[in-house]
Amino acid sequence: MYREISKLVMFRNFGDGSILNNITEIIKEADQGAADREQLVRRTYGEIRRLLEVGTSYGFDKNLWRDYLTFLLMTNENPFTLTCEKVGANNGSVNGFAVSDFTIFLRLMNYDFSRLEEYLGVDCFSVVTDYKSIPKKEQMYNRNVSEKVRNLSDRLGALDPSDGQGAFDIMTDFYRKYGVGMFGLNRAFRIRHEEGKELEFIPINNTDRVMLSDLVGYEIQKKRLRDNTEAFVEGRRANNCLLFGDAGTGKSTSIKALINEYYDQGLRMIEIYKHEFKDLSAVISAIKNRNYRFIIYMDDLSFEDFEIEYKYLKAVIEGGLESRPENVLIYATSNRRHLIKETWNDVHDMDLEKHHSDTVEEKLSLVERFGLTINYSTPAQKEYFHIVKELASRYPEIDLSEEELLAQANKWEMTHGGMSGRTAQQFVDYLSGMCGKKA
Compute the residue count for the chain.
Answer: 439
CB 270 within 8 A of CB 201: yes
What confidence score (pLDDT) does residue 259 get? 93
What confidence score (pLDDT) does residue 307 get? 62
d(CA 114, CA 339): 65
Convert 340-407 into a string of H (helix), E (strand) and C (coil): ECCCHHHHHCCCCCCCHHHHHHHHHHHHHHCCEEEEECCCCHHHHHHHHHHHHCCCCCCCCCHHHHHH
What confidence score (pLDDT) does residue 160 get? 96
Residue 243, H or E segment? strand 241-245
d(CA 83, CA 179): 10
In the chain, what are the domain boundaries? 2-185, 203-376, 381-438
What confidence score (pLDDT) does residue 323 get? 62
What confidence score (pLDDT) does residue 337 get? 65
Across the strands, what pairs with 376? Answer: 245
Regarding pTM above 0.75, the answer is yes
What confidence score (pLDDT) does residue 124 get? 93
Instruction: Tell how strand 241-245 and strand 328-334 pair up.
Output: parallel
- 3-state SS, residue 330: strand
Smallest Cα–Cα separation from 229: which of 144, 330, 323, 325? 330
What confidence score (pLDDT) does residue 354 get? 46
What confidence score (pLDDT) does residue 344 get? 45
CB 361 within 8 A of CB 327: no
Structure letter (DSSP) for residue 323: P
What confidence score (pLDDT) does residue 144 get? 75
Domain 203-376 has CATH 1.10.10.10: no
What confidence score (pLDDT) does residue 342 get? 56
What confidence score (pLDDT) does residue 72 get? 94
CA distances to 70, 73, 109, 167, 301 from 152, in Å: 7, 10, 13, 10, 40
Instruction: Tell how strand 188-192 and strand 200-203 pair up.
Output: antiparallel
d(CA 80, CA 69): 17
CB 63 within 8 A of CB 155: no
**pLDDT block averages, 10 residues each, the chain of length 439:** 84 85 92 84 95 89 94 93 85 89 95 92 92 66 80 96 95 90 89 88 84 91 96 94 89 93 92 88 89 92 67 68 79 77 52 52 70 90 92 89 92 89 92 71
